[in-house]
Amino acid sequence: HQVRFHWVKGHAGNPLNERVDAMAVAAYQTGDLLTDAWYEAHVG
């Protein structure tokens, strides 16, 4: 297999993507994260 990585600029000024990114960062910084119960039960 050959794997190649190609950098793509994220968000690029898209207002909705920028908002979701800000929400994700805020959740991470405050520790207000949800646990995926199915994933935890089946994958761990």
The pLDDT tens digits of the residues spanning 7-40 come to 877 777 888 888 988 998 998 899 888 889 999 9
Structure tokens at 7: 């950098």
Query: What's the pLDDT score for residue 33?
Result: 82
Question: What's the distance, CA 27 to chain centroid?
Answer: 11
Query: pTM higher than 0.85, yes or no?
Result: no
Phi (first) and psi of residue 41, to 5 degrees: -70, -35
Where is pLDDT greater, at 5 or 12?
Answer: 5
Q: What is the pLDDT, as a whole number, of residue 30?
A: 93
What is the distance between the alpha carbons of residues 11 and 25, in angstroms, rounded to a whole number?
14
Identify how many contiguous H helices and E strands the chain contains and give both numbers. 2, 0
Show the tokens assigned to 37: 């119960």
